[in-house]
Amino acid sequence: MSKPFGVSSDHHFHSFTAFATVNDKGVNSRLQATLDAMREHAAAVKAAGGNKLFLAGDTFHKRGEVAPSVLNPVMDLFRELVAEGFEIYVIPGNHDLERNESMRVGNAVTALEALGVKVAHEPMVVDLSDDHKVVLFPWYATTKDLIEAMMSWRDELTFDEREFDQEPWLDAVIHAPIDGVLPHLPEHGLTHEGLSGTGFNRVFCGHYHHHRHMGDEVYSVGALTHQTWGDVNSKAGYLIVTDDQVKHYETTAPKFMDVDNVEDEEGLLEVNGNFVRVKIEVATESELETIRLGLLGYGAAGVVIHAMKKTVMTRATTPAPSGGHSIENSIKEFVTKRSLPAAAHALCVDILKEAQAA
């Protein structure tokens, strides 16, 4: 029997510009919302009777350069959490890397080691109890390397334990693209069946920003919070894990959401506290303002209206696919056609997200 523990991922601590202000401590409000969400996560683990937090990669957002006004508030938060008795384990994700390969001096999360946070530059084994271990794996350049590392560690850990009656319960924390978490992204050959086949009892995986149980006790952790319009409809939050249960919880951080119908009063209740985007045909500036004020009245934390002029011309061509995924689909086709590696695809998606976040 182990104590409950927490898993969260893809915090992407960063001073995002969209909807941002600067608070009286000089901290970007979007960064502050993510810091607050991390606090909520820690408080929930404590309330459940645990003190271990596992971070599944992409703690920081900007590859190779973390601003002082991001690093210092993040260091302050983790310093407080360690002082409160939390044991924190972090794997470097692709966003934490300055170079293509994960290495101690090139990983932004290495700074957290000074606070007592443990960073898994190499696979790291954490004992939860006599027969329950959590193994953390850093980012690997290929999914094949990851699977091989997981299998060899699994063999080693169970071999050591053969003198005992029972094989240990093994959980893994990784950062990698699992096929099918986000259906509009290309497949890289890393399946939940393949991960389950490594012999780990449960796998908690960061990278794609959507929480989902993929089957076979393989979980996409999902990001702690929404970060860009690319996250509309994705499930963000953190996990509380017990011996027999994995539960996902949302935080109070703002979500990015599309509102399709500004007349639907019940639907509008959802906008409270969130960043809202409306695409609408309007005739006048005052109509726009009415909609904007209406959404703010329902508690929206920010409003973007994409006004399209009413048009009398009929389209000669098929309209482009609507929604936030058409560019993602184009990237997916491009990457799939050229059989590019997961790392190249991750970079394309990062660049798109960066553009969407501005």
| Residue 118: alpha-carbon gap to chain centroid | 20
Shortest distance, position 77 Cβ to Mn ion, whole Å: 19
Shortest distance, position 22 Cβ to Mn ion, whole Å: 24
Q: Which two tokens stand for residue 190?
A: 């890393």
Q: Which two tokens stand for residue 289?
A: 């303002």
CB of 229 within 8 A of CB of 256? yes
- The radius of gyration of the chain's CA atoms, rounded to the nearest angstrom, is 22
10 binds Mn ion (CB under 5 A): yes
Shortest distance, position 93 Cβ to Mn ion, whole Å: 6
> In terms of CB distance, is 248 or 279 closer to Mn ion?
248
> In terms of CB distance, is 58 or 171 closer to Mn ion?
58
The span from the CA of 232 to the CA of 258, in Å, is 7
The span from the CA of 264 to the CA of 37, in Å, is 29
Shortest distance, position 9 Cβ to Mn ion, whole Å: 7
Shortest distance, position 234 Cβ to Mn ion, whole Å: 11
Q: What Å distances lie between residue 264 and 242, 255, 259, 310, CA to CA?
A: 40, 19, 9, 21
Window contacting Mn ion (CB under 5 A); options: 4-12, 20-28, 135-143, 302-310: 4-12
Window contacting Mn ion (CB under 5 A); options: 51-59, 122-130, 188-196, 260-268: 51-59
Shortest distance, position 207 Cβ to Mn ion, whole Å: 6
> In terms of CB distance, is 2 or 225 closer to Mn ion?
225
The span from the CA of 241 to the CA of 4, in Å, is 5
The span from the CA of 127 to the CA of 134, in Å, is 7
231 binds Mn ion (CB under 5 A): no
Q: For residue 167, what is the DSSP state?
A: P
CB of 173 within 8 A of CB of 91? yes
Residues 106-145 binding Mn ion (CB under 5 A) are none
Residue of minimal Cβ distance to Mn ion: 58
179 binds Mn ion (CB under 5 A): no
58 binds Mn ion (CB under 5 A): yes
> In terms of CB distance, is 51 or 328 closer to Mn ion?
328
Chain residues binding Mn ion by CB under 5 A are: 10, 58
